[in-house]
Structure 1
Amino acid sequence: MTSRVDVVVVGGGQAGLAAGYHLRRLGLDFVVLDAEATPGGAWQHTWDSLHLFSPAAYSSLPGRLMPTQRGQTYPDAGHVVEYLAEYEKRYELPVQRGVHVHAVRRDGDRVRVESDSGTWQARAVISATGTWSRPFLPAVPGQDIFAGRQLHTVDYRRPADFAGQRVIVVGGGNSGAQIAADLALDRVHLTWVTQRPPRFLADDIDGRALFDVATARRRALDEGRSDTGGVASLGDIVAVPPVRAARDAGLPAAKPMFTRFTTTGVQWADGSGVLADAIIWCTGFRPALSYLAPLRLRGQRGHIATDGTRAVDEPRLHLLGYGDWTGPASATLIGVGRPARDAARAISQLLAEEAKRVR
């Protein structure tokens, strides 16, 4: 069976919900297709100790402030899941769950969205699938002979799972620092490895300042002024309370990236090495866009060329929440609201122009 709507939003996490909010306000007929069985997007799959690095008021989607969490300046992931579930219900967003979209194709003057639960014909599509389902692991010589476990950020839950073990955490971003801090404060023999020396932001900088910096950079670029460097100019790691506590307690100094695996651990270029029972790769993600392959839009690093959120070579497709290339700070709760609004407005204008041509 094929259903017809104005807009299909693929992904029901924070970006998809923000898009739904603005589509609802504009009176468009839309559906949100989400592969998850329950609300909350990727937040329901994170490690136990994860907290936001912004207060609740600075971590809100459009139209609804996130409530504060008792006893917490920075809400935990469970609180975010509750907020997203309440947000979806509050605005009666038409989310269909357990729907896996496997292809989007051009279909005359529409696009066809194919899934394991049916097909939709839409006049526009918003891709909001995020990155959590596409963890990236770099290739390192000898990786296949290592006898220990190899995990990614998406697999990590709690230090107790590694009690008494020798663990190497690879990654100098926020996830790497937070998981390293989590393990350093427990009964784990930790080695922290980063591509370059870790750069901690000043202790008084959190998500509020980072959003302002990212927005100022985008404004400068849009106005033709010199690049301010954005958040990257300040550092890589937000010193959230657990990271600060581990750092102040003597978080092991980060070692440079190792050059090869052995059967029992890793080795550096100078021949030194360490034994390891597990490696946790905190090495980032790639955008989950494989279902858009039939449109033949992919460019470097899997990105699709965009003008704002709109795909340059397919005006009926908008991409939302994947990073600065789809809107400044659009991969954050507070940052996704503005590009979601812009995408919804652009689609509304496109549909209005098409309606005029038909008349």
Structure 2
Amino acid sequence: MEHQVDTLVIGAGPAGLAVAACLKKRGASCIIVDRAAEVGSSWRHHYDRLHLHSDRDRSTLPYLSFPAGTPRYPSREQVIEYLERYARHFELVPHFNEEVRTVRPHDSGWITTTPASVYHSRRVVVATGYNAVPYLPRWRGQERFDGPMLHSSEYRNGESFRGQSVLVVGFGNSGGEIAIDLHEHGARVAIAVRGPVNVVPREIFGIPILAISIVLSRLPARLADALAAPLVRLSIGDIARLGFRKLPMGPFTQIKTTRRIPLLDIGTVKLIREGHIEVFGDIREMGETQVTFDDGRSRDFDAVVAATGFHPRSDYFLAPQGDILDVEQARQPGSGEKKSGLHYCGFIVSATGMLREIGIEAQRVADEITRIEHHSGETR
């Protein structure tokens, strides 16, 4: 089946829905396609315990708030319900079960193919996000390990690990919360941390860290780090005493230079301090049950959960087109993409919250598209 549309939006997660709603508000038409069967598919596959690490009031998409009575940090289920409500509110009906195979420039627009359809559009918005393809590294001897080894995308809850010794690999927000969940389900938990880290509290004196970050983000990164450092030390303490190596840069500089978010602590540090979670360095080698770390220590584990992150997948369907686009690293919309009709939403890593940034970016993308349409209409 062939479709003609002004703008094709790839992805029915928060970014794709937000762009489509913003376009609709501006009187522009679009079609959303998604490989899954429902909106917000990545949220549906996260672990049960997951809550937003950014607060509700600063995590809404454009033009629609969370329902009254939603807690400050919504649960996974509440985020899914919000995304469903958002799609209903704006009457967004994505074309589901359509995995994009190719996106190629053609004449004055783009041709996008799925197994079921061919879409001819003047513009394409890639809104597939970072959490598209689980990243699972390889460790020496990994094939010898006898127990279950799963990526965080496969983890649901700690019930099946009750009474077992479990190693969580990775100290990002997923790793930190999964470690808590395992402990709460009666597992013996350790965390393998590959390199130096930053840890910040989710709240300082009852104020969401995101609210503070929004204010400080207006400053140069180093100055923002210097101002935040005393508050972080007061709330978190000296993480070196807990077995971590601290990054030589603060969290704002970390995000700016490495595009990685520091751990937003929701209780992991307390459990480490109380001795409920043991901290190790990087994995050197694995045996049938034994894991040896880079400092020479070894421990036996029944299972491993790899909270090692994800890769975006736009390079799966976007063939390199010279100067038009760069699929090795998704970028925020710039002059090249405006000219070519290719836009991204949901790929910017920000200290001020992913969903908040998606909302800002979606409005910017919609403004760019409608400005171009208006200009094209005047010149035809």
- Give TM-score scaled by structure 2 length: 0.81
Answering whether residue 11 of structure 2 is matched by residue 3 of structure 1, we say no
Q: Which residue of 1 aligns with 2:63?
A: 63
Q: Which residue of 1 aligns with 2:228?
A: none
Q: Distance in 2 between matches of 1:195 and 1:7?
A: 42
Determine helix, strand or coil for the equivalent of 1:61. Answer: coil
Q: Structure 1 residues 69 and 75 mapped into 2: Cα distance closer, same or farther (>3 Å)?
A: farther
Letter in 1 for 2:187: V
Determine helix, strand or coil for the equivalent of 1:294. Answer: coil
Q: Distance in 2 between matches of 1:171 and 1:110?
A: 42
**Unaligned ranges ≥5, structure 1:** 221-226
User: Bigger shift: 338-347 or 144-153?
Assistant: 144-153
Answering whether residue 375 of structure 2 is matched by residue 350 of structure 1, we say no
Compute the displacement of 1:22 (Å).
1.1
Letter in 1 for 2:365: A
Q: Distance in 1 between matches of 2:68 and 2:272?
A: 27
> Is the Cα–Cα contact under 8 Å of residues 169 and 176 in structure 1 kept in the other structure?
yes
Q: Structure 1 residues 170 and 309 mapped into 2: Cα distance closer, same or farther (>3 Å)?
A: farther
Letter in 2 for 1:206: I
Letter in 2 for 1:161: S
> Is the Cα–Cα contact under 8 Å of residues 146 and 263 in structure 1 kept in the other structure?
yes
User: Bigger shift: 94-103 or 109-118?
Assistant: 94-103
Letter in 1 for 2:63: G
Q: Deviations over 1:88-130 (max 9, x none)?
A: 1001123222221111011111100101220110000000011
Q: Structure 1 residues 233 and 120 mapped into 2: Cα distance closer, same or farther (>3 Å)?
A: closer
Determine helix, strand or coil for the equivalent of 2:129. Answer: coil
Compute the displacement of 1:268 (Å).
2.3
> Is the Cα–Cα contact under 8 Å of residues 69 and 75 in structure 1 kept in the other structure?
no
Runs of 4+ in 1 over 6 A off after TM superposition: none
Compute the displacement of 1:263 (Å).
2.4
Q: Which residue of 2 aligns with 1:76?
A: 75
Q: Distance in 2 between matches of 1:311 and 1:50?
A: 37
Determine helix, strand or coil for the equivalent of 2:291. Answer: strand
**Unaligned ranges ≥5, structure 2:** 224-248
Q: Which residue of 2 aligns with 1:333?
A: 355
> Is the Cα–Cα contact under 8 Å of residues 338 and 368 in structure 2 kept in the other structure?
no
Answering whether residue 125 of structure 2 is matched by residue 116 of structure 1, we say no
Q: Distance in 1 between matches of 2:108 and 2:62?
A: 31
> Is the Cα–Cα contact under 8 Å of residues 2 and 120 in structure 1 kept in the other structure?
yes
Q: Which residue of 1 aligns with 2:210?
A: 207
Q: Distance in 2 between matches of 1:67 and 1:215?
A: 30
Determine helix, strand or coil for the equivalent of 1:49. Answer: coil
> Is the Cα–Cα contact under 8 Å of residues 281 and 294 in structure 2 kept in the other structure?
no
Compute the displacement of 1:229 (Å).
6.0
> 1:232 is matched with which residue: 246, 250, 254?
254
Q: Which residue of 2 aligns with 1:286?
A: 311
Q: Which residue of 2 aligns with 1:224?
A: none
Q: Distance in 2 between matches of 1:217 and 1:10?
A: 34
Compute the displacement of 1:201 (Å).
1.2
> Is the Cα–Cα contact under 8 Å of residues 166 and 276 in structure 1 kept in the other structure?
yes
Matched residues, percent identical? 27
Alpha-carbon RMSD across the aligned residues, in angstroms, is 2.9
Q: Deviations over 1:159-184 (max 9, x none)?
A: 10211222110111111111111112
Q: Distance in 2 between matches of 1:283 and 1:211?
A: 27
Q: Structure 1 residues 307 and 132 mapped into 2: Cα distance closer, same or farther (>3 Å)?
A: closer
- Give TM-score scaled by structure 1 length: 0.85
Determine helix, strand or coil for the equivalent of 2:263. Answer: coil
Determine helix, strand or coil for the equivalent of 1:88. Answer: helix
- Aligned residue runs from structure 1 range 159-238, under 5 A: 159-196=158-195, 198-202=197-201, 203-204=203-204, 205-214=208-217, 230=252, 232=254, 236-238=262-264
Determine helix, strand or coil for the equivalent of 1:259. Answer: strand
Determine helix, strand or coil for the equivalent of 1:65. Answer: coil
Q: Distance in 2 between matches of 1:83 and 1:343?
A: 22
Compute the displacement of 1:185 (Å).
2.6
Q: Distance in 2 between matches of 1:339 and 1:167?
A: 39
Determine helix, strand or coil for the equivalent of 1:157. Answer: coil
Q: Distance in 1 between matches of 2:295 and 2:177?
A: 28
Q: Distance in 1 between matches of 2:336 and 2:93?
A: 24
Q: Distance in 1 between matches of 2:180 and 2:101?
A: 38
Q: Distance in 1 between matches of 2:25 and 2:338?
A: 27
Q: Distance in 2 between matches of 1:309 and 1:77?
A: 33
Compute the displacement of 1:193 (Å).
0.9
